[in-house]
């Protein structure tokens, strides 16, 4: 069965610290997509990144970076020099493609990141 595990329920850091949010997934498919979303206190989910299973290159976008390791089924998210505005719940999600499957996302339980000034 497909599953996404975010073992860190809550993380608290002080501003300017680096922080890594872990995501481990399970799937039997060879073709799949992984996503990260940010949910600020206002409630809406904001799309951050999508990565397909054939692209294991790490990605950097400003202070954000993502490390995809197929060998360990992990897709970790690092925020460098964290800021108070980074405080939010972060969700990792898995989507499978195959046999005409629709765009269904399997979400992890989320990690609440609190950045203290």
Identity of the residue, 18 or 59, whose beta carbon is nearer to another protein in the bound complex = 59
Provide the 8-state DSSP code for 84. G
| Full 3-state SS string of 45-64 | CEEEEEEECCCCCCEEECCE
Of 62-81, binders to another protein (CB under 8 A) are none
Helix then strand then coil, in percent of the chain rounded to 5, is 5, 55, 40
Binding mask 18-47 for another protein (x = CB under 8 A): ---------------x-x-x----xxxxxx
Q: Which residues bind another protein (CB under 8 A)?
A: 4, 9, 33, 35, 37, 42-47, 50, 52, 91, 95, 97, 100, 102-105, 107-110
């Amino acid at each position: 069965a497909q599953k996404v595990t975010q073992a860190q329920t809550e993380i608290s850091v002080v501003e300017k610290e680096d922080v890594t949010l872990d995501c481990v997934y399970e799937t039997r498919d060879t073709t799949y997509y992984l996503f990260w979303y940010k949910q600020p206190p206002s409630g809406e989910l904001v799309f951050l990144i999508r990565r397909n299973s054939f692209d294991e290159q790490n990605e950097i976008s400003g202070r954000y970076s993502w490390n995809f390791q197929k060998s360990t089924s992990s897709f970790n998210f690092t925020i460098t020099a964290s800021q108070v505005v980074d405080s939010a719940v972060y969700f990792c999600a898995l989507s499978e493609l195959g046999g005409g499957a629709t765009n269904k996302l399997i979400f992890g339980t989320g990690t609440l990141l609190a950045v203290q000034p």
